[in-house]
Chains A and B, each alone.
Chain A
Amino acid sequence: MSGAETPIIGIDLGTTNSVVAVFRAGSVEVLPNELGESLTPSVVALDPRDSGVVVGRTARELVTRRPECGATSFKRDMGTDRTHGLGEERLTATELSAFVLKALRTAAERALGCEVERAVITVPAYFGEAQRRATLRAAELAGLKVERVLNEPTAAAMAYGLHRRAREGCFLVFDLGGGTFDVSVMELFEGVLEVRSTAGESRLGGDDFTAALVGAALERLGLDFELVEWKDPEGFAQLTKRCELAKRKLVDDAAFEIEAPALKGFLDAPRPVRLDADAVAAVFAPLLERLRGPCRQALRGAGLTADDLDEVILVGGATRLAAVRRVARELFGRDALDSVDPDLIVAHGAALQAALQADDAAVEDVVVTDVLSHSLGVAVAHEIAGRHVDGYFSPVIHRNTTIPTSRSNVYAPIRADQTVLELEVFEGESRRVQDNRLLGTLSVSGIPRGDDEGRRVEVRFTYDLNGILEVEATILATGRVFSRVFERSGTTMTEAERGEALTRLARLKADPRDEAVNAELIARAEALMVEVDEVGREALELALLEFERAIEARTPDLIRQARRQLRGLCEGIDGNDRW
């Protein structure tokens, strides 16, 4: 392999903390940073004294004191154009991540005593294309060549599964980090670690639990969350820190106790705040509720029930919370495994993957396969009540398909005189493209006029391990091929995101023809559609279309009938739940 002389490092780029590790001499070694610590807080700040950028614990301390100087939890904004204030500067999450990666690289170089150019970086499994793209750009900015973008739960499973290779079976990785939540169902057999399904939420993590506590504390004090955050950011940051620390102590069902700092203009002197166990439970309840969906979804995606699981692995610092553990126990009916350090396990996995990439003999016979976390497809129009209604999503590669993969569908133009097909490539699970993310478009022209047979266009999606999506459209009649590679370095996202926001706004306009009952049912079915596998999705799609046609046609009988049918289908799906 070219460049085999420089080691490949594994990086866990987390929301709150980042870790770098390397596979050396047959085992994984976590590389300490300049402070001698394994965990480097993912915080970037601009030191107001010398205008230098500081990363890690230093920056975290700085930010606690001077919130306007730095940025935290920016991983949640990966792939968006939201900027964070760093003193006078405003930087995107990508740029901020680049600072963290650079710091990790420096740390690794010092620890290894050689130059480091290549890395395996982990991302939450539920990261979409834009977020992965942004991560890659950050690495590029940090001067790292990314050998592989690895899903965090997969990394965790590798680290977990590969050092007890004798064990076979299915296990679930429950990864609740600082800002993201991932659930992956894995199967280990014959030395092959196979990801069966993955689900998650890219904006749910320990930070949210902390914020909930901050909110509850302020409520106890009779203060307004937003007002305090705005008027006294320093005091607020202090409060957040105290809440965060107190939260970490909430391992058992203890009461939550902090001393709220003095808040300028709100609180003259520090005052103790106490929430008893019940109050804490009430504060966490809505967040805990959000953990259930992805778990269900992942199990369903793998075609398993909780009983089929051999083990449940908890990953991520937030899984230390007693409340989270309780939910996990409730969901899976067993105590989760927590013998591995939940903060470091992902980096371990990344290092293992790095060794795989480098063809390290020690991991020679290990095979790990991963899946696509979001369906990829194109926008299509369906015929409803004689008209073509566009904005529907037609998946080409379904999520939870093992990658690399290549799949194709055949599409045809709507109108007889149409010679150009504008393929809009989307990512997501919603049946309407407006709720999915636009990745880009591919224009196919020169479609012959004439009968349907000759006008069909085969659209092939090829998705490789590095997350590069190639879309290839072939006009079947003429054999002409159009293709576009959706590379992660593309910068088309800004406009697309803006378009998405506009669509969202447009959607807010109430549609008068939707009666509450019908709207509710459609929403329910569409929500379910995100959960079920592709077979169920197609069944739902059929029933939904039928229902929409009936609504469009405004025939009470047809509507009633279609509604009955759709509701039956939904109940059939919900009813399968064991939770």
Chain B
Amino acid sequence: MVSEPDPLPDSNDPFEVLGLEPTADEREVRRAYAGLARRFKPERHPEQFQRLRRAYEAALDIARMQERFNADDDGEDEELEISVRGRERPSERETREIPTGGGEPAPGPSSVWRDYVETGRFDEAAERLEARIEAEPLVALHYLERFGLEMRRERPEEGMRQLARGIVADAALFPYVFQALSVFDRAALARRDEIVWPVLRSVSDRHGARFLFQERIEEFLGSGDTDLAFEEVEAPQFRRDAEDDPFLRRLAQRVAIAGRWWERGRAEALGAYVFTTLDDEYVERLYLEKGFRREDWRDSGFPEALDRYAAVYDVLSPDGSIVASMRFLREIREEPGGFAPAMRRLSLEKGDPPLVVDMVHALVGQGETEASSEAPDEECAAELRGILERGSWRRGWKPRRRTFPTRWALAAAMGLVTFCLIAAFARTTSHLLWAALLFPLAGGLLGWLYSRVAQRRKKAREASALAAGFSLAVELLGAVDRSPVAIASWLRGEIAAGRAEVPTGAATLDQSPAAMLIHLLEQRRRRLQGEEEANGGGDET
């Protein structure tokens, strides 16, 4: 009978289990394991042996890593810039081997790594990972992604730098750039200028992958990190590069628009961003990534494809406005009369002028659509007047019902004319009798027909009144600088009607309509927000 040995120490520290100092080298680890394995043979003590084995594998890995670290401690201080300007070093790319993990002598199977994470010893894990980054960037990247970056909080920079270097240098890693970037973001936001941006730039330059920038922004917006999106485009690096890069400038514009839509919700912001892109290639790419096939795309055409896209991205606002807007916006480009009529039509159909305005602005800014230069003031002024006459731009405004029963008067008149006509051609009294019978019938029919028409027209009017919003009017009038007088007069009207207040501390109305306008816009926004909160969003449906 063999006496039961004392159990292994109950610890998550592999070295403690083995009864060693954490500084033990490979040889010591092996010896300790061998000694303990004799006590806890797998045949006799399967449970204890498993624990021993785990500790052994973990400790062995740490010890080996330590040795490797000590071995090549020197050098390796070159700056990231060197490989960021990767084109200068093509040889690096050619000689790099795709890592498999098998050819490396030191690191064992990654199960050890997993055990680390289970034991919660992230420091070692991070170190171990760092040791592999340069030799095997793909592997390292994979783990980074898999375990998140908790363990890297402590010392992200050097590892990041190495990984970045690997990614930039290695074409095979290109598809993983995005993963890597998201990892960097989580870990080292503060170091973005130094790490993330150079990677993004050089990878995109090298592979012609401009969409990386877009995807990145979109990911921020999609995950609700609008702030990150803003920070991104506000960052000095970005701004500097954007000065001579129209692509980046456009990107910044889109983010600005998305920001304005942010208060409405994540989906709207993302939608505004995506749809101002209007870039077939890019949208198509997104489709593919989100699982739409080219056939669907081809068969159903762009609008349907967009609908699907929106559904996938969850950007469909309750009334489907963004998607629909997008569809119209695409038509704007081809609309013969320029953007003003198109926008007007769009705003009428959409009932969502601010978005439309934003988007059209963006398009104009990108040179996608020409701003109509033949000053639509005349037309727009009329439009504005109409809006003002109708009373309000506010949401929920309903046009006054017509009190006079026009349709019945009309029906009666029409009936009378019918009667007269029949009477004029009538040769017998029986004909007259027939006419007398037909008269109410015809009148009723006509009345019904008219009421149908009237109803449709009324609906259209209501829609147009609803749609012709404040912002639309302002935009149509050239907003800040084109028709200050019109705005000023309108504002006076608003104030007189008690719908707006004279802003205190602002310049007087006549002196600076623009300042006033800005103030009022702000006021309106706040009021709308308040209303919406009060209604609990109920008026949206």
Contact = CB atoms under 8 A, between A and B. Distances in A.
A123 to B, nearest CB: 17
B292 interface: yes
Q: How large is the interface on A (under 10, 10 to 19, 20 to 34, 35 or more residues)?
A: 35 or more
Interface in A517-539: 532-536, 538-539
A539 B173 CA distance: 11
A258 interface: no
A192 B33 contact: yes
Contacts of A573: 98, 100, 102
Interface in A391-421: 398, 400-407
Nearest to A406: B50
B105 interface: yes
Task: Determine which residue in A383, A535, A538 has the highest number of CB atoms from chain B within 10 A of its CB, and name it.
Answer: A535
A536 B102 contact: yes
A60 B125 CA distance: 59
B294 A303 contact: no
B34 A553 contact: no
A561 interface: yes
A452 interface: no
B100 A539 contact: yes
Contacts of A555: 288, 294
B34 A535 contact: no
A536 B104 contact: no
Interface stretch (B38-46, B358-366, B403-411): B38-46
Given A535-B100, A576-B100, A189 B34 contact: yes
A499 to B, nearest CB: 30
Contacts of B295: 554
A356 B136 CA distance: 42
Interface string A142-183: 000000100000000000000000000000000000000000
B34 A575 contact: no
Contact of B293 (A192, A402, A554, A561): A554
A385 interface: yes
Task: Determine which residue in A300, A369, A533 has the highest number of CB atoms from chain B within 10 A of its CB, and name it.
Answer: A533
A138 B510 CA distance: 104
Contact of B43 (A301, A357, A406, A569): A357
Contacts of B142: 535, 538-539, 542
Interface string A537-566: 011001000100000111100100110010
Given A357-B43, A405-B53, A569-B98, A367 B138 contact: no
B37 interface: yes
A119 B101 CA distance: 40
B206 to A, nearest CB: 14
Nearest to B170: A568
B43 A465 contact: yes
A571 interface: yes
Interface residues of B, number: 45
B49 interface: yes
A535 B110 contact: yes
Contacts of B99: 535-536, 539, 572
B291 A386 contact: yes
A407 B111 contact: yes
A465 B111 contact: no
A398 B175 contact: no
B382 interface: no
A190 B43 contact: no
Contacts of A403: 42
A405 B50 contact: yes
A323 to B, nearest CB: 28
A558 B281 CA distance: 13
Interface string B81-105: 0000000000000000111111111
A304 to B, nearest CB: 8
Contacts of B41: 356, 367
Nearest to A577: B103
A468 to B, nearest CB: 11
A278 interface: no
B463 interface: no
Contacts of B50: 404-406
A554 B294 contact: yes
A568 B291 contact: no
Interface in B21-44: 30-31, 33-35, 37-38, 41-43
Contacts of A252: none
A534 B111 contact: yes
Majority secondary structure of chain A interface residues (helix, strand, loop or mixed): mixed
A513 interface: no
A387 interface: yes
Contact of A572 (B97, B104, B288): B97
B290 interface: yes
B59 to A, nearest CB: 14
Contacts of B103: 300, 305, 576
A303 B288 CA distance: 39
B71 interface: no
B175 to A, nearest CB: 6
Nearest to A556: B294
A303 B98 CA distance: 16
A228 to B, nearest CB: 45
B111 A401 contact: yes
Contact of A535 (B33, B42, B101): B101
Contacts of A571: 98
B424 interface: no
B100 A536 contact: yes
B139 interface: yes
Contacts of B111: 398, 401, 407, 534
Interface string A262-287: 00000000000000000000000000
B102 A532 contact: yes
A359 interface: yes
A535 B142 CA distance: 9
Contacts of B1: 1
Task: Determine which residue in B41, B103, B175 has the highest number of CB atoms from chain A within 10 A of its CB, and name it.
Answer: B103
Contacts of A568: 98, 171-172
B53 A402 contact: yes
B37 A369 contact: yes
B288 A558 contact: yes
Contacts of A554: 293-295
Contact of B42 (A385, A407, A465, A553): A465
B2 interface: yes
A191 interface: yes
A555 B286 CA distance: 12
A140 to B, nearest CB: 20
A385 B110 CA distance: 29
B104 A303 contact: yes
A37 interface: no
A465 B99 CA distance: 33
A330 interface: no
B19 interface: no
Contact of A464 (B2, B46, B101): B46
B109 A190 contact: no
Nearest to A148: B43
A539 B97 CA distance: 13
Contacts of B220: none
B529 to A, nearest CB: 30
B108 interface: yes
B38 A365 contact: yes
A148 B2 CA distance: 19
B314 to A, nearest CB: 15
Given A400-B109, A532-B101, 20 more contacts: A148-B43, A190-B31, A191-B34, A191-B38, A192-B34, A192-B37, A303-B102, A305-B103, A369-B37, A404-B49, A532-B100, A532-B102, A535-B99, A535-B101, A536-B101, A536-B102, A555-B294, A572-B98, A573-B98, A573-B100
20 contacts: A1-B1, A189-B30, A190-B31, A191-B34, A303-B105, A356-B43, A398-B109, A401-B111, A402-B53, A405-B53, A532-B102, A534-B101, A536-B99, A536-B102, A553-B293, A554-B293, A568-B171, A572-B97, A572-B98, A572-B172
Closest 10 CB pairs of A and B: A386-B291, A572-B98, A190-B34, A535-B101, A536-B100, A300-B102, A192-B34, A367-B37, A404-B46, A568-B172
